[in-house]
Amino acid sequence: MKRNVVLVGLAAALGLAALPVPANAVAIAPAIGVNGAAQVELAHGYNHHRHHRSHGYHHAPPPVVHHYHHRKVRPWAHWRPYVVRHHYYVVGQPVYYSSHPHYGPYYRVRARDRDDVLLWIGISAITGAILFSNY
């Protein structure tokens, strides 16, 4: 019983009376004043925003794109030493194909392999990778 009386008294003091009050009754001012413009600061001085930045909760910076080689088509003279290093001897003039559905831009050239057999090789014009070799 005492508990109910204390709760009703506390609710009335805070202005949260649950009982219906007639319109002509005297309004009771709340016992606690609240300043709506006050800022809340935690007791131990911890900066909430700085803490989250260090744990990666914010967006990551955009990836670095090196524009000096991004999708840059290089001339055949740039890739020829690479092809020779991979044991091919180039015997023909390269033909440049600007687009392929799987390879992208590439060079097709007649060459000989280390066994001196003639074949066609395809070299990527962007990466220099050997894409195919057909006998």
Per DSSP, helices labelled H in 30-133 are 48-54, 76-85
Does position 117 have pLDDT exceeding 90, yes or no? yes
Does position 130 have pLDDT exceeding 80, yes or no? yes
Burial label for 107, CB within 10 Å (0-12, 13-18, 19+), is buried
Q: Which two tokens stand for residue 121?
A: 């090789």
- Are residues 30 and 14 in contact, defined by beta-carbon separation less than 8 angstroms? yes
pTM of the model: 0.49
Q: Give the pLDDT of residue 36.
A: 65
Cα separation, 106 vs 130, in Å, equals: 9
Cα separation, 86 vs 130, in Å, equals: 9
